[in-house]
Amino acid sequence: MIAITSHNTTDERIAEIVHWIEKHGVSAHVSKGEDRTVIGIIGKADPVMAEQLRQMSGISEVIKISKSYKLASREFHPADTVISIKGVEIGGQDLVVMGGPCAVESPEQIDEIARLVKAAGGQVLRGGAFKPRTGPYSFQGVGVEGLEMMAEAGRKHGLLTITEVMTPEYVDICAEHADILQVGTRNMQNFDLLRKLGTIQTPVLLKRGFSATYDEFLNAAEYILAGGNPNVMLCERGIRTFETYTRNTLDLAAIPVLKQLSHLPIISDPSHGTGRRELVEPMCKASVAAGADGLIVEMHTDPDNSMTGDGVQSLFPDQFANLLLDLEKLAPLCGKTFSTKKEPVLAGSWKK
Amino acid sequence: MIAITSHNTTDERIAEIVHWIEKHGVSAHVSKGEDRTVIGIIGKADPVMAEQLRQMSGISEVIKISKSYKLASREFHPADTVISIKGVEIGGQDLVVMGGPCAVESPEQIDEIARLVKAAGGQVLRGGAFKPRTGPYSFQGVGVEGLEMMAEAGRKHGLLTITEVMTPEYVDICAEHADILQVGTRNMQNFDLLRKLGTIQTPVLLKRGFSATYDEFLNAAEYILAGGNPNVMLCERGIRTFETYTRNTLDLAAIPVLKQLSHLPIISDPSHGTGRRELVEPMCKASVAAGADGLIVEMHTDPDNSMTGDGVQSLFPDQFANLLLDLEKLAPLCGKTFSTKKEPVLAGSWKK
Amino acid sequence: MIAITSHNTTDERIAEIVHWIEKHGVSAHVSKGEDRTVIGIIGKADPVMAEQLRQMSGISEVIKISKSYKLASREFHPADTVISIKGVEIGGQDLVVMGGPCAVESPEQIDEIARLVKAAGGQVLRGGAFKPRTGPYSFQGVGVEGLEMMAEAGRKHGLLTITEVMTPEYVDICAEHADILQVGTRNMQNFDLLRKLGTIQTPVLLKRGFSATYDEFLNAAEYILAGGNPNVMLCERGIRTFETYTRNTLDLAAIPVLKQLSHLPIISDPSHGTGRRELVEPMCKASVAAGADGLIVEMHTDPDNSMTGDGVQSLFPDQFANLLLDLEKLAPLCGKTFSTKKEPVLAGSWKK
Amino acid sequence: MIAITSHNTTDERIAEIVHWIEKHGVSAHVSKGEDRTVIGIIGKADPVMAEQLRQMSGISEVIKISKSYKLASREFHPADTVISIKGVEIGGQDLVVMGGPCAVESPEQIDEIARLVKAAGGQVLRGGAFKPRTGPYSFQGVGVEGLEMMAEAGRKHGLLTITEVMTPEYVDICAEHADILQVGTRNMQNFDLLRKLGTIQTPVLLKRGFSATYDEFLNAAEYILAGGNPNVMLCERGIRTFETYTRNTLDLAAIPVLKQLSHLPIISDPSHGTGRRELVEPMCKASVAAGADGLIVEMHTDPDNSMTGDGVQSLFPDQFANLLLDLEKLAPLCGKTFSTKKEPVLAGSWKK
């Protein structure tokens, strides 16, 4: 940690600050510059100390050199984390594709979509039973029954399942039914939810808050890891910028950055990251080229009539299958493996 | 609601879309333009319908003309909402000043600060018992005991109290001890928390999410109002932008905008909005000049040693008192009244 | 300047870096931390050196402690700059109000508006002869004739004039006709234009780029100052953020921040900063409360028919006059003086 | 074009507005909604008309349905533009790679780098003779001599050359020496420069302003096209967001979006888009996967001592060559062709 003094800080004040620092059991190295002085703090400093120093008179800036997260950092844990669930490995050699509708609507809908995800080569079925919605009058999901419909479809077609959990009290029931729990972008800093997820072992896909920095994102992961659950994967899903043509700006540089700062697997979500169907395919390919460990993609058999209105970003089943055929060729050039049955899904070959 | 077709949409497709719209019990007016067609939807449209239309092939854009929130809108409720609590009116003639530390630390600390808030002319004591923190290793607040310390200090000095509630399960106990419950910026879209707050009558100060649009902010208020709690005040506390010199960018235009769109009282929070002590006083004055109904300001007797590190944005008690003396003169020019005892608080006249 | 090493930098590499630094005639103080080393560079470092150090292997970060601008900084020039033009002082005791249309349209239009600006108490007439426009097919201004019309109106009514200059080759002719030259937001980093403005003595109002940091803004001012023209005023005119309800987000904290970092006068532009007529009055008051030295406000006698389409943010002449009556009362509470003839301008008392 | 009335607009006012519209030679279709009225304007409307309507009382919003740019749009020009320069086609089958230093420093430097670009398989040599710099005291480029050094190196090694032009008066001399002229991000809305570039036929690479929307970007291209120069290529180089870990946020969705909206070739610039050497390779691959027609990449033989400080984002020659070997495999999966000599450049095999 380094503290930099203000322009006019007197030698007396510097001495007082140094005295205050040393009282806390760490040592201070003073380097006088032309018009400011730099105080290096050496030793294991309490994180509160940085915050206190920053607000002292005579100090203009405090720079932390050690990161505020530890368990999530690659420095602490150099090897890639690989999360193994019923034979599927996330963060390892295989590219993992998660596909499905924004919301579970009926047993028939989710069964047919599960069939199509499997046929195309996907490994995980996504679907929301509880939906976070901007306004109170929008469709809020079908609830617990949706969890059961999805679990059943996953079992039948041999797919893992992932679903969003929005509040600590639903963590247990969601974990009973789904293989992976998703924390949505609006809940990335719902600290009680993160703490609760730290107490179980079910893998968690943590979505980046749409205005979260990398540092805040990794600190949110740290909440879960620090609680005792090591099975966290990070998900880039677009950030909010001034550009409104796309729903969000998918920040693909996040993939190599997070790979460098952390050992956790990284999944990319081009559906929410762009909000436009025609951009999903190129941004899926770009995500894999940037080094993603997996993709989460919205697919729907009847997007015109989806209940959440997210159909606008959902692929049709044949588009989804064609994308996966392309990924099969692309993956080996990007250090990954991925295999399909090499058969396209024909347009119109599904039940709406 | 208006739907605009794509460049190449055929007449057949337009006829299908019109048919689909009319099936839903509303009528469609078609205006053909040079290269696009505009379909006006007349009647009480289901909100899901806009979302479904947007994702239909042949449609390039859907524009909602009615707002998605209703109870929060000034169109629905033209008169200003005035929230009356134990004789203090928020949103009416009086300017309301809320002051206090970021976190309650001890009975002595909060008692001394309450004394100073009252002496300066403030009406509400702020203080956090539960603190949302970016990282899991930072100080998380003293918890329920803090609620009791603050309630006691408020009672003794004749101040209302406001404190943050972070999770639905703590709403009842916080409401027992505090006069106003605060929803923090990271929880603006914690929908379960908002729903729970809709079931009680305790006034709620809802902070704008640091990346929330006005529309999302008012939709979040709508969750509480729709649940049955009409006592909501809005709080502008700065948004996240590319500028990092200040902690956030305090968006003061939000004050007249929200006054125009909504009838709810607006409070400004320059402490979090700027993150720098020296900016709090000018931005408090600017907030009042822009039409704020109140201010929430961090003040601490010993900011160098505050436990959260937010001391850097806390006023000293004498600065706080001087600010309120200035506001007393400024308020009448801005359509408000505010009165102090007209005595400054002397530097050093308080217990640390 | 401080350089911080990477996690794994070896002692040999540190020694090489220190050697490289010392070769450049400055000295290096090394403080070894737990897992990184801090190298303080003491002495007059060449600015290129920071840039070179940043890219060396073994270095993770370089922090400049001295600012990159000097003439614009308050540290270098502690007293406020007051720019005196024909008896009007900008940056001193007086609040300065600049009013007028977005674009000069005809001699009659600018004459009538000048009369109304003067009647209301304004000191400066604004108006554009050359207009920067997003698209090539929009109205681009009336050109040099507009300069003459405006100069004539200013002379006749006893007002200073300000107009935008867009390209170095027009600086001389604009300076012949106008008292103050404005650099628009899109040209804040048009370095050739800034350099040219440094070669004359005409005062310059430099608008903040809509995505410029404070540091970039002051560096742009430094270009003009370094060229030899000390008469620069800064103008906050809103930044681009995710919020699109307002045209820009007027960053009023910029006013006290820039006052602290720099000695140059600060003018606020709520017309462009909000893009909505009904927000101009509250944001003008808020700007003065935040400490602005002046305001630049769009006013038009016939906004429905303005040629640029900026009428939507222009005040009517009676609104402008009422605003100035309010500012007369507000200014003394904010350390400024301002006086009008104390007579409102009646609605409809002007020629369209 | 559609105009939407305010909540309270009376029928009389609507009739006046309709009358005003029809006076301008276009027709108005009125659709009355529940609480607002939509007026569709049918016919060839003058662009100023939208701006005037927007500011009329009684109107709350005006939505343009036709785009404000025309020559740049794919609707107007459905086939891809292919720019052919001395046998290299940009925007066609071939992936085009532009490589070189941020700034030309000496004849030896640029000659050696040109040799390495050619050896690796690149087609274009980049290098700056005039450098736009945030502060006036930074290195500003070597000027006209740099143009000559670069032209000579290009000729000798059989490469096209690209260089930045910053001001209209230098357009002719830059065009004499370079094959492609680059407009930098800060000059995207330097309209005089764009107009001047419209008068020549030399191809222009137009960089997106770091805060420009797609619409503004295409309008800037329209300035050049409307002047008569059809040879424009667009360059995504990162936008400014709240995330500061990377220098900018490279917006790769811009590639498929711009391909859809426009027929112009798209080049990606991961060097400036990320500002970090280790991110350049993954983001180059991701750009190609997203559909880019080409890449512009900084490469330097001695980045530790580059004169601009942009070495931190420059690849070493061996990294550059390895990247191009990878692109050769990737391109065919992304609808492009690219070929190298299939030989790596060995580390250290170049002159510093």
pLDDT at residue D174 greater than cutoff 70: yes
pLDDT at C231: 98
pLDDT at C42: 74
| Residue D30 in contact with partner chain A when CB distance is under 8 A | no
pLDDT at B78: 92
Give chain A's mean pLDDT.
Answer: 91
Q: Are strands C83-85 and A160-164 parallel, antiparallel or unpaired?
A: unpaired
pLDDT at B34: 65
* pLDDT category of residue A129 using cuts at 50, 70 and 90: very high
CB C282 within 8 A of CB B290: yes
Decide which of C247 and D28 is more confident: C247
Residues B52-104 pLDDT 10s: 787 778 888 787 766 779 899 998 899 999 999 999 999 999 999 999 999 99
| Nearest of B326, B293, B324, B94 to residue C334 by alpha carbon | B326
pLDDT at A45: 67
The secondary structure element, H or E, covering residue B19 is helix B11-23
CB contact under 8 A, A31 and C32: no
pLDDT at B165: 96
ipTM above 0.85, yes or no: yes
CATH number belonging to domain A83-334: 3.20.20.70
pLDDT at B65: 66
Please count the CA atoms within 13 angstroms of the CA of A333 that sit on its side-chain side: 27
Angle at A48 between CA A46 and CA A52, to 5 degrees: 120
What CA–CA distance (Å, rounded) separates A306 from A309? 6
* pLDDT category of residue A126 using cuts at 50, 70 and 90: very high
CB atoms within 10 A of CB D76: 12
Residues C82-132 pLDDT 10s: 999 999 999 999 999 999 999 999 999 999 999 999 999 999 999 999 988
Q: Tell me the mean pLDDT in the region C333-338.
A: 96
CB B222 within 8 A of CB B72: yes
> Sign of the C-alpha dihedral, residues D21, D23, D25, D27?
positive
Residues D283-324 pLDDT 10s: 999 999 999 999 999 999 988 777 776 678 899 999 999 999
CB contact under 8 A, A65 and C241: no
pLDDT at C55: 73
| Tokens read off for A174 | 């969601």
Decide which of C105 and C306 is more confident: C105
* pLDDT category of residue D211 using cuts at 50, 70 and 90: very high
| Residue D15 in contact with partner chain A when CB distance is under 8 A | no
* pLDDT category of residue C211 using cuts at 50, 70 and 90: very high
| Nearest of C139, A190, B346, B33 to residue D3 by alpha carbon | B33
CB contact under 8 A, D210 and C210: no
| Residue A223 in contact with partner chain B when CB distance is under 8 A | yes
Residues A64-85 pLDDT 10s: 766 779 999 998 899 999 999 9
* pLDDT category of residue A254 using cuts at 50, 70 and 90: very high
CA separation (Å) from C30 to A66, C37, C60?
A: 17, 7, 15
3-state secondary structure chain A: CEEEECCCCCHHHHHHHHHHHHHCCCEEEEEECCCCEEEEEECCCCHHHHHHHHCCCCEEEEECCCCCCCCCECCCCCCCCCEEECCEEECCCECEEEEECCECCCHHHHHHHHHHHHHHCCCEEECECCCCCCCCCCCCCCCHHHHHHHHHHHHHHCCEEEEECCCHHHHHHHHHHCCEEEECHHHCCCHHHHHHHCCCCCCEEEECCCCCCHHHHHHHHHHHHHHCCCCEEEEECCECCCCCCCCCECCCCHHHHHHHHECCCEEECHHHHHCCHHHHHHHHHHHHHCCCCEEEEEECCCHHHCCCCHHHHCECHHHHHHHHHHHHHHHHHHCCECCCCCCCCCCCCCCC
Residues B306-317 pLDDT 10s: 777 667 889 999
Distance from CA of B129 to the nearest CA of C (A): 29
Q: Tell me the mean pLDDT in the region A312-332.
A: 95
Please give the residue of chain B at the shortest CA–CA distance from C286: B286
pLDDT at residue B240 greater than cutoff 80: yes
Percent with pLDDT over 70 in chain B: 96
pLDDT at D24: 80
CB A111 within 8 A of CB A347: no
Give chain D's mean pLDDT.
Answer: 91
Percent with pLDDT over 70 in chain C: 96
> Which residue(s) pair with B266 in the sheet?
B234
What CA–CA distance (Å, rounded) separates D32 from B102? 52
pLDDT at A159: 98
Residues A257-270 pLDDT 10s: 999 999 999 999 99
Contacts of D43 (CB under 8 A, 6+ apart): B34, D25, D26, D27
| Residue B240 in contact with partner chain A when CB distance is under 8 A | yes
What CA–CA distance (Å, rounded) separates B27 from B156? 62
Residues C38-54 pLDDT 10s: 887 876 666 677 777 87
D186, D206, D217, best to mutate vs chain C, most C CBs in 10 Å: D186
CATH number belonging to domain D2-63: 3.30.70.1140
Decide which of B344 and B82 is more confident: B82
Residues A105-122 pLDDT 10s: 999 999 999 999 999 999
Give chain C's mean pLDDT.
Answer: 91
What CA–CA distance (Å, rounded) separates A160 from A233? 15
Q: Which chains form contacts with chain D, at 3 or more CB pairs under 8 Å?
A: A, B, C
Contacts of B172 (CB under 8 A, 6+ apart): B200
Of D35, D40, D244, the CB nearest to B31: D40
Decide which of D146 and D68 is more confident: D146
- B-chain residues within 8 Å CB-CB of C326? 333
CB contact under 8 A, A278 and D291: no
**What ranges make up the beta strands (E) of chain B?**
2-5, 27-32, 37-42, 59-63, 83-85, 88-90, 96-100, 124-126, 160-164, 180-183, 204-207, 232-236, 266-268, 294-298
* pLDDT category of residue C283 using cuts at 50, 70 and 90: very high
DSSP 8-state assignment for residue B24: T
| Residue B240 in contact with partner chain D when CB distance is under 8 A | yes
Q: Where are the domains of chain B?
A: 2-63, 83-334
Interface of B with A in 55-84 (CB under 8 A): 55-57, 68-69
CB contact under 8 A, D55 and C306: yes
pLDDT at B47: 63
Provide the b/e sequence for D213-224 (b: ≥16 CB within 10 Å): bbbbbbbbbbbb
Ordered DSSP codes for D231-296: -EEEEE--B--S--SSSSB--TTHHHHHHHHB-S-EEE-HHHHH--HHHHHHHHHHHHHTT-SEEE
Token pair 């620090």 is found at A226
Percent with pLDDT over 70 in chain A: 96
> Which residue(s) pair with C88 in the sheet?
C85
Task: Give the helix ranges, DSSP H, for chain C.
Answer: 11-23, 47-54, 107-120, 144-157, 171-177, 191-197, 214-227, 254-261, 270-274, 277-289, 317-330
> Which residue(s) pair with D84 in the sheet?
D89
N-term to C-term CA, chain C: 59
Please give the residue of chain A at the shortest CA–CA distance from D257: A279
| Nearest of C216, C283, C221 to residue C248 by alpha carbon | C283
| Tokens read off for B204 | 């709620």
Of D33, D44, D66, the CB nearest to B42: D33
Distance from CA of B150 to the nearest CA of A (A): 23
pLDDT at B309: 63
CB contact under 8 A, A283 and D252: yes
Q: Tell me the mean pLDDT in the region D179-183.
A: 98
pLDDT at D312: 80
| Nearest of D135, D122, D124, D131 to residue D104 by alpha carbon | D131
Distance from CA of C286 to the nearest CA of D (A): 24
* pLDDT category of residue A216 using cuts at 50, 70 and 90: very high
CB B164 within 8 A of CB B191: no
Please give the residue of chain C at the shortest CA–CA distance from D139: C48
Residues D213-236 pLDDT 10s: 999 999 999 999 999 999 999 999
The secondary structure element, H or E, covering residue D339 is none
* pLDDT category of residue A47 using cuts at 50, 70 and 90: low
What CA–CA distance (Å, rounded) separates C324 from B331? 18
Please count the CA atoms within 13 angstroms of the CA of B60 that sit on its side-chain side: 16
By the 10 Å C-beta count (0-12 exposed, 13-18 middle, 19+ buried), C23 is classed as exposed
Contacts of B20 (CB under 8 A, 6+ apart): B56
Of D48, D50, D138, the CB nearest to C47: D138
Q: Tell me the mean pLDDT in the region D140-159.
A: 94
CB atoms within 10 A of CB B222: 25
Least confident of A188-197, A301-310, D195-204, D253-262: A301-310
pLDDT at residue D7 greater than cutoff 70: yes
DSSP 8-state assignment for residue B141: -
Listing from the earlier edge strand, what are the strands of the sheet with D27-32?
A: D27-32, D37-42, D2-5, D59-63
pLDDT at residue C58 greater than cutoff 80: yes
| Residue C319 in contact with partner chain D when CB distance is under 8 A | no
CA separation (Å) from A290 to A267, A313, C145, C245, D314?
A: 11, 22, 55, 35, 18
D5, D26, D29, best to mutate vs chain B, most B CBs in 10 Å: D29
| Tokens read off for B298 | 């961090």
Least confident of A122-136, B282-296, D38-52, D304-318: D38-52
Q: Do domains D2-63 and D83-334 have the same CATH topology?
A: no
Provide the b/e sequence for C80-93 (b: ≥16 CB within 10 Å): ebebebeebebbbe
